[in-house]
Chains A and B, each alone.
Chain A
Amino acid sequence: MSEDTIRFTLNGRDVSVPATTRGHLGDLLRHEFGETGTHIGCEHGVCGACNVVMDGVVVRSCLTLAVQVDGAEIETIEHLGSDHDVAALQNAFVARNAFQCGYCTPGMIMTARELLAGNTAPRREEIRDAISGNLCRCTGYQAIVEAISDAAETLREMADE
């Protein structure tokens, strides 16, 4: 990190911003880069709407200081839409009506994608545990659990082919 600049990779591009120490990564992504798919709900880690991928793992962008990402690789939902696993999740969320207002959806997809990367056939219980840190105020979760389960099945079928 040079004295006054933070450099990092955002969705495959090298970017830099002044090292303003105040503020968290979620605000930085939205305000400086217009990546508004990262939603801010609670700003204390509870809701999961702000999940992004940092150096390969899902993290809360509201609990990551903007200055902390110097040298890191950040991916937001905007960048992941073309991945086959995210596409399978998106299709399943649509088919199952797994969102209404959609505020929680990007964070849900991030969590579900990481779950399915490590567990290709999660049980309903495991899905519920995985999304326990993602709050949805609209759907009641049942449809989300079913959608993630459906996406897992689709991905297994794709892997078999």
Chain B
Amino acid sequence: MKSANFAYIRATSLDHALSTLANTEDAIVLAGGQSLVAALNLRLQVPELVVDINHVPGLDQIEIGDDEVRIGPLVRHAQLMASDEATKALPLIGKALPHVAHPAIRNRGTTCGSLAYGDPAAEMPACAVALGATLVLASTDGTREVAAREFFEGLYETQRAPHEMLIEARFPVAPKGARPVFDEVAARRGDFATLGLAGQIHVDSGVIAAFDLVAFGSEPAPLLLENVADIALGKAPNPGLITDLSQAVADQVHPMESPLATPQMRRRQYRALAERCLHAAMEFADV
């Protein structure tokens, strides 16, 4: 299908982008375009004005500090994936990125675009919730910070107002020894996940000191599995614990109805997926 007609403006600065968004009803940001242009072509979205931010200088920075990694709104999936420094500081992101779409789409699609869009099947929102990232939103009224754990409200629903731009995602650097937990079920590599798990586990002096795990894909928004963490904390990793945790994952999710699988089938898939990725993360041989 072909898009409906719309006006187009190339923002020359962040202020220009923000004032255009503030002054135009029904204006929409164009970042990588890998979700937006598809939605335009399908006429799922029919905006008045498309504000292209691709030529605003300085928005493509990855800043790696001691405590956090700051990702600007034009950092492409491929750019982040190619940054050894970034994926070392954020091993979960490094593990998840190869599952995000396909090479040509990663060449254009952005981390912030993915977060702003809030696709329930997308990997980056799940990682942001698992890692406790902070999202920085800007408008002509100023900037505000929103915790990723509060940002995602439902299917494509976020706390971002239409005139706000996501100008930075701040991810806390993984503590030394923390390990990523990631796997998903998808029709093929790079396809959106029908369900997945993203998290980070930290074993210190033989016991689990921190464990944040998120279920995504089957839920309207990334779901932080707090009960799973409660079971794990203070315990020594062992195969019996993995069985308990995997069952807890299956018990806590609320899979949406789908023509592809019943919620019951999804729960079984979650249990199997949790077993697999927890064994990998805790370095037990896969059973």
Contacts and interface: CB of A to CB of B under 8 A. Distances in A.
Interface of A: 1, 21-24, 27, 43-45, 48, 51, 57-60, 62-65, 67-68, 70, 110-111, 114-115, 128-130, 132-134
A60 B41 contact: no
B103 interface: yes
Interface bracket on B: 20 to 34
A1 B189 contact: no
10 contacts: A22-B5, A23-B2, A43-B1, A43-B38, A44-B38, A64-B108, A65-B8, A65-B33, A115-B103, A133-B103
A60 B34 contact: yes
B108 A23 contact: no
B47 to A, nearest CB: 11
Interface centre among B7, B38, B188 (most CB of A within 10 A): B38
B41 A24 contact: yes
Interface of B: 1-8, 10, 30, 33-34, 37-38, 41-42, 50, 52, 54, 78, 98, 101-105, 107-108, 188-191
A102 to B, nearest CB: 19
Given A24-B37, A63-B37, A128-B189, A68 B52 contact: yes
Contact of B108 (A27, A63, A110): A63
B104 A58 contact: yes
Nearest to A110: B104
Contacts of A23: 2-3
B103 A64 contact: no
Contact of A65 (B30, B78, B107): B30
Nearest to B6: A21
Contacts of A22: 2-6
Contact of A58 (B10, B37, B103): B103
Contacts of B104: 48, 51, 57-60, 110-111, 114, 133
Contacts of B188: 132
A128 B189 CA distance: 9
A129 B104 CA distance: 12
Contact of A60 (B52, B98, B108): B108
A18 to B, nearest CB: 13
Contact of A45 (B8, B50, B105): B105
Contact of B101 (A24, A65, A67, A133): A133
A30 to B, nearest CB: 13
Contacts of B191: 132
Given A22-B5, A63-B41, 14 more contacts: A43-B38, A44-B41, A51-B104, A57-B78, A59-B104, A60-B105, A65-B30, A65-B37, A68-B52, A111-B104, A129-B189, A130-B102, A133-B190, A134-B102
A94 B54 CA distance: 39
B5 A21 contact: yes
A40 to B, nearest CB: 10
Nearest to B50: A65
Given A115-B103, A133-B101, A43 B41 contact: yes
Contacts of A62: 37, 41
A63 B34 contact: yes
B160 to A, nearest CB: 22
A67 B8 contact: yes
Nearest to A115: B103
Contacts of A24: 3, 37, 41
